[in-house]
Structure 1
């Protein structure tokens, strides 16, 4: 069943660290069966507080999404994101 990983960036604390993340994550993502559906594009808030950015990635199954997130390669790169921005991230199965 298709699964979606959704990240909501609430606040950036250090743009340099996010730039390191952005420049490092691209080639690593090619190793996993994923497709980005949205990434930091224009957004219009319908309800609640406005986030800085939103990213949505599609995976073929929840196990594939969790394997990507938990992989040593991704966790090493994600440390830059963890250090310098506040995010909410979650995985949700599709219909």
Structure 2
């Protein structure tokens, strides 16, 4: 069943250099992780609650694959740069498959 790793940026970037380093490192990641970017900082229309400053949604074949990507040593080396750049929330959501 598909799973989605979602990251919301709660405020504008405070450290652009750190964010650029994070992006540079994640774009160079190697590995066998199967992911499909679905949303990468597109325009957001808020319907309820506080609108996040930005959002990324990555699709994976399973929750386990999403967790494996997040826990990958290369990602874990990049992560402190994202966390330094602004305030974020990150979570994994199990997808839905309608009954056949």
Report the TM-score, using the length of structure 2 for normalisation: 0.89
- Measure the CA separation in 2 of the matches of 1:82 and 1:20: 11
User: 1:24 aligned to 2:46?
Assistant: no
Please name the residue that 2:69 is paired with.
68
Please name the residue that 2:5 is paired with.
5
Q: Deviations over 1:21-69 (max 9, x none)?
A: 1122112166411000010011111111121101100000011000110
- Measure the CA separation in 1 of the matches of 2:79 and 2:32: 16
- Measure the CA separation in 2 of the matches of 1:92 and 1:65: 9
Report the TM-score, using the length of structure 1 for normalisation: 0.93
- Aligned-residue RMSD, C-alpha: 1.3
- SS of the residue corresponding to residue 29 of structure 2 reads helix
Larger relative helix fraction: 1
Larger relative strand fraction: 1
Structure with bigger gyration radius: 2
How many equivalent residue pairs? 95
- Measure the CA separation in 2 of the matches of 1:29 and 1:47: 37
Q: What 5-or-longer segments of structure 2 have no aligned partner?
A: none
User: 1:86 aligned to 2:68?
Assistant: no
The answer to which of 36-45 and 24-33 deviates more is: 24-33
- Measure the CA separation in 2 of the matches of 1:31 and 1:17: 26
Q: What 5-or-longer segments of structure 1 have no aligned partner?
A: none
The 4+ residue runs of structure 1 with deviation greater than 4 A are none
